[in-house]
Amino acid sequence: MTVNFSSAGSVEVGQSLTITCTITTVERLVVTPMVTFIKMNDTDMEMLSNLNRPYSITTDDTSSVTNYTLILDPVRFEDAGMYTCMAEFNVTGVNDTNDPSTATYDYREDSDIFNLTVDFPPVIVTISKERDDTLYAGTPFFIKCDIMLDALVTIPVTVTNQWTRDGTNVPMDSSDATITEDLNMINTLYHNATLMFYPLDNADDSGMYTCNVEVTAPNSYMYLRNTSASANTSITVMATPEPVVEIVTMGMAEPGEEYMLNCTVTVVNRLIVSPVITWTKRSANNVISVPPVLMTVSNVMRSLYLRFSSLNTSDAGLYTCEASINVTEISMVARNNDTSNLPLEIPIPSVDVSQSRENYFLAGSNLILTCDISVDINVDTPFAVNVTWNMTDQQIMSSGDFGDESAPNSMRLADTDRVNISPVMTRSGFNEYRSTVNFTTLSSIEDSGTYTCIVTIVPAPAYEYVMTSDTNYMNVNFTVTDPMIRNFSASPDSFLGLETSCSDSYRYDNFTLTCTATKPTIVIPDLVIAWTLNGTIETGTVTTTREDTMTTTVTNILNFTTSTASDSGTYRCTASITIPNSPDITTSEESTVTIRPQSLPVAATNVMATVGDAASATTAAISFTIPNIAYTPETYGVKYTGAILQTAEQTSMIRMSSDDITAIDQEFTIMLTGLEEDNTYTYTVDSTNCRGTTSTAEMISSPPLLVTRDITISGTIFTTLPSVDNHTINVTWSPPTTPNGRIMTYVIEVDGYITRNRLIRRTITDVDRDSFTVLITDNALTPGVPYSVTLVAYNEFGRGMPVRVIVFTRVLTPSVSPSNVQAVRSDDGTNMTITWDAVSLTQARGFFEYTIRLRRSSRKRQAGDLVYRVPSTETSYTATDLDDQATYSVSMGLSVDDGSGQGPIAGPTSPPIEISSPASTAPPTTSSNINTIIGIVVGVVLALLLIVLIVVIIIFIVRRGKQADKFNISGKSKKKDLFELLESNPLTPTNTTSFRQLDDGPDANGASAPVVTGADGQEDDDVKEKPDDRLDEEMILERMKPIAVASFHEHVQEMHVDSDKGFEMEYKSVPMQTETSFDIGRNEGNKTKNRFANIFPYDFSRVKLTELTGVPDSDYINACYIDGYNRKDCYIAAQ
């Protein structure tokens, strides 16, 4: 018997393998061999039947061949091991004869072994590079090896790898310090290995890289065969190129402007070091580093900015941007640079030429021309200021460097020492300089012309990148004129000396000759004044005074203490000024001196009488002029007649004449008192000295002393006549009752109320009337502005008493309300004092009164408001009889009357202020009086319930009674209401809850516009009543009373309170049902002509237009006629 193993298939895990144990015996063996099929591995032993794998046992027809077949599909790791197949049989009692003694014994056994060593399934190894672009030294790079195990690998394994470059393991030693490797297990079936270059080195790192992978099982798995795999790739490392450096300029390179240099450095992508960028500037033979202000970074480009917020000339130069790369790991250095010129031109300097004077260019005066030069503050490098002065395009001076103090470049004009030109000087400000031309004395012959200051700024030679400025200049032109001797006088121009005629005239035998003249103070040469008598110079006393900054006065006085006939003659005064290089200026005047006897006084002239004002109607002022007062003192008096009881002339008080014998045209005024009012007087003025008296002529028509009474002005009001607009004032007056003579004219003057400036003056010559009305129209007159109107009457010799009034052309609605409104309540809470700041007529825009409104805090209208009217002259008011328990809201406004009879016009209201009751701060109720309070509350509640019940009954009765007072369809009323017009006391509080009584039905002609309901019979939303308003509406119906015309405006204001609550409630009280038709307005063709979809005119009272031919409904308009009190169809109401 033989036992043999055979196999078919693959031993690789996952493949199919069949193991067969074949037992061969002789044919027709009488016994069946016993077969044992077992598997043994490192840890256990299993029978065939326990392997949990399919198997089969087959025997051929001869029973000599038996196959035990084990099917491994697929092959697993646990299938590995040593398979043993053993067979044996034992035959006894076998004999070829029937002789038992010839029986035989036969035993056979055999076995075979099959070692199944399992192969790992294939390992998948892939290799990849970080990127496929060109690789440069100095950049990071890695190669990744992905290792994938078959999913059938279910036992623990060890994965190892080894990197090689061109067959040599890497990394090798310190020479590969820039290369690192790493193996990571992502999961049991996936590993990756990475070879990192940080950075790449073009000297060593190029080549073929292989990832060698080996997968091994633990030593306990002796029937497993380890596996390995590999993958490779190649890289080529290039040397790193130099950085690309480029300078880009941004902005305009001018001093003071913002400017930027951008150095852009481009390097290879992913370089492990940043380029080092530095800025340097070469200027004035120096090279300095310049700190950057901004850097931006990207993967391959870096920009380093030099930002100049305001360029200075010190920023000019040659700028170099250098970029370097130094990779120390591979000892690599690369650098490059770029340059850019930054030239700066010095800005044009500011040049301003000024004169020490802007006018009065007089010969002999001093004049300084100043050229002020301002160099731009951004010029901070050394420079020179070159200044040239030209006169009428001819150079007169060229200065040197302003800093050359050792040789100031000063020169003088030829043939004169009058003009000096200074070197350039520094001023107090930064970069500010000055050059001057000094004319010590101007010449009218040489110095007139145009002077030009020409300036150029030149940089220091060392600053090659700073350029010279453009030239700037400025000129002035002046013309020198000869000065004039002014105010020249020699006085007296004649002197009639005295012989001793009067005892008090001895001192007037002496005389003084005064010669005076003025010159402009700015003229330096002296003003010389000299007296000559018949060609001989007379020595006098010369004084020089400087009366003001503009004029110098020189006086030469000749004094004669004892005059004789020999002093008579012609005296000549000569004034002269001698100016270098200019014509001499001379003027002269003569004075004649004669000795003669004394004479009578000169009669008074320009006599005028002026009456007193209303406060002093019995006085008059007599004014007159004495042409010449000579020799001796004079007295003056007024004699007048005309008093009813006067019997003799009256003389006024005495006035002494001046002691100055040269006095001429002296004016005097004498006051007369105790005159009789409304009387006419005649008078004369007497002049008296020691020789006698001279009087003014007494004429029949001599000026009366006009003393009148006030003119009666009966009206200066604005008018609303159709012929008058907003720019017209109506002035009405009556003539004086005692005009004290014939009235010649009336004068009306209109002045600004605040400014007092004269706007209009009118003279009225038509005076023979009993009354006057004048309309003054001018566009300068404005509505709402107060004006002062003055009216005065004149007779032929005098002016009457003026009358002044304040008027408006038209009153406007006030635009302001009182400010600083304050209120203080008395301790008992029944009084309140309100104060405010005064409002002017200009602010009010009309004659006005203050309106004070006190409102309780309760929102119920029954609580009422208290309204007080206070004159415009007041700034405080005390309200009395207040509810000491209530809190009041105080507000104020203005009301003006426009005179139209429509009532006052109200302006805006001041913000309300809350004033609490003093009782609100009382201490809380204690437990001792709680019972008393409960009793009071219960009583009050019962009383209120009773009142409400009575009111409801009354309202029910009134409403039923009013149903009988409906109007009929024609709109004629069945009753006529009588309204009483009441005058209201301005200081009496008005209850604002008193509304005017309204009829229940339509207006007098039935033209009230109805409100129709919707299709469903319900009222429109706009007119629906809120249930909680009905009680108030009923109460309003009961409380509507007639309204006085004077109070109507105030009533309207009250109705506007609380968002027009009063109007809303009155409207809701109007019955909404009507029996009058309004079908025409609802026709389909007329619906679009109605502004509102539910308001139509009544058919009987609608306005009918002229119908267009062929156009249906063209006579329709949403409008109704309304009767007036005195005329039918007096008004039209329309949308």
Q: Does the pLDDT of residue 171 top 50, yes or no?
A: yes
The answer to whether 863 and 992 are in contact (CB under 8 A) is: no
Where does the pLDDT of residue 104 fall: very low under 50, low under 70, confident under 90, or very high at 90 and above?
low
pLDDT of residue 1030: 38
Q: Mean pLDDT highest for which of 98-107, 367-376, 594-603, 1040-1049?
A: 367-376
**Residue 195 above 70 pLDDT?**
yes
Average pLDDT rounded to a whole number, residues 308-315: 90
Spatial distance between the Cα atoms of 964 and 144, rounded to a whole number of angstroms: 111
The average confidence (pLDDT) of the chain is 77
Q: Which CATH superfamily is domain 822-920 in?
A: Immunoglobulins (2.60.40.10)
Residue percentage of the chain with pLDDT more than 90: 22
Claim: this prediction has a pTM higher than 0.85: no
Tell the residue number behind the tokens 């200051």, with chain if given.
Answer: 453
Examine the pLDDT at 496 and tell me if it is beyond 70.
no
Total residues belonging to the chain? 1135
Query: How many CB atoms sit inside 10 A of residue 1036's CB?
Result: 18
**Over 50: is that where the pLDDT of 1025 sits?**
no
Query: SS3 for 1051?
Result: helix
What is the predicted pLDDT for the residue at 934?
A: 66
Instruction: State how beta strands 344-345 and 466-467 pair.
Output: parallel
Do residues 517 and 488 lie in contact, with contact meaning Cβ atoms separated by under 8 Å? yes
Query: Does residue 617 surpass a pLDDT of 70?
Result: no
Return the CATH number of the domain spanning residue range 2-119. Answer: 2.60.40.10
Rounded-to-integer distance, Cα 387 and Cα 472, Å: 10
| Distance separating alpha carbons of residues 708 and 680, to the nearest angstrom | 10
The torsion of the CA quartet 756, 762, 765, 770, rounded to 10 degrees, works out to -70
pLDDT at 346 exceeding the cut of 90: yes
Query: What pLDDT is stored for residue 103 in this prediction?
Result: 56
C-alpha–C-alpha distance, residues 928 and 933, integer Å:
10
User: What share of the chain in percent tops pLDDT 70?
Assistant: 75
What b/e readout covers 1046-1081, taking b as 16+ CB neighbours within 10 angstroms?
Answer: bbebbbebbbeeeeebbeebbebbbeeebebebebb
Contact 88, 107 (CB under 8 A): yes
Residue 89, pLDDT score: 86
Cβ contact 186:159 at 8 Å: no
Q: Cα–Cα distance between 254 and 347 in angstroms, integer?
A: 8
Indicate the residue type of 288: I
* Max Cα–Cα distance, the chain, nearest Å: 232
Q: Which residues pair with 807 in a beta bridge?
A: 787
Query: 346-478: what CATH class?
Result: mainly beta
- 917-939 mean pLDDT: 57
Q: 68: which residues sit within 8 A by CB, 6+ positions away?
A: 20, 21, 23, 35, 37, 48, 55, 56, 57, 85
In this prediction, residues 235-243 reach a mean pLDDT of: 92
Q: Helix, strand, coil proportions of the chain in percent (round to 5)?
A: 10, 45, 45
Residue 1035 is predicted with a pLDDT of 41
DSSP for residue 523: B
**CATH architecture for residues 715-807:** Sandwich (2.60)
Residue 391 · residue 453 · CB < 8 Å: no
Measured distance CA(520)–CA(509) in Å, rounded:
37
Task: Pull the structure tokens for residue 383.
Answer: 């420079």
For 70, the 3-state DSSP assignment is strand
Where does 217-331 show beta strands of DSSP type E? 224-225, 227-235, 237-238, 244-250, 259-266, 276-283, 286-290, 294-297, 301-308, 317-327
Per CATH, the number for 486-594 is: 2.60.40.10
> Which single residue is written with the structure tokens 């070197």?
423
Tokens representing 779 are: 């566009």
CB-count burial class (<10 Å; 0-12, 13-18, 19+) for 123: buried
Structure tokens at 27: 């044919």
Q: Stretch 931-949: mean pLDDT, rounded?
A: 74
Lowest-pLDDT range of 423-427, 494-498, 1079-1083, 1123-1127: 494-498
Give the CATH number of domain 244-344: 2.60.40.10
Q: What is the mean pLDDT of residues 234-241?
A: 92
Cα–Cα distance for residue pair 626/897, rounded to 1 Å: 58
pLDDT score of 461 more than 50:
yes
Classified by CATH at the fold level, domain 605-695 comes out as Immunoglobulin-like (2.60.40)
Q: Kindly report the number of other CB atoms within 10 A of residue 949's CB atom.
A: 10
Q: How many CB atoms lie within 10 A of CB 193?
A: 23
pLDDT of 601 over the 60 cut:
yes
Select from 1073, 1084, 1085 the least CA-distant residue to 1011.
Answer: 1073
**Domain 124-238 class in CATH:** mainly beta
928 to each of 34, 243, 938, how far by Cα in Å? Answer: 125, 102, 18
Q: How many other CB atoms are there within 10 angstroms of residue 436's CB atom?
A: 18
User: What DSSP character marks residue 481?
Assistant: B
Contact criterion met (CB below 8 Å) for 291 and 304: no
1053 to each of 635, 895, 993, how far by Cα in Å? 74, 11, 12
- As annotated, the residues of the chain forming the CATH 2.60.40.10 domain(s) are 2-119, 124-238, 244-344, 346-478, 486-594, 605-695, 715-807, 822-920
* Residue spans of beta strands (DSSP E) within 539-663: 541-546, 551-560, 569-577, 585-595, 605-611, 620-628, 635-641, 650-651, 655-656
Q: Is the dihedral of CA 45, 50, 51, 54 positive or negative?
A: positive
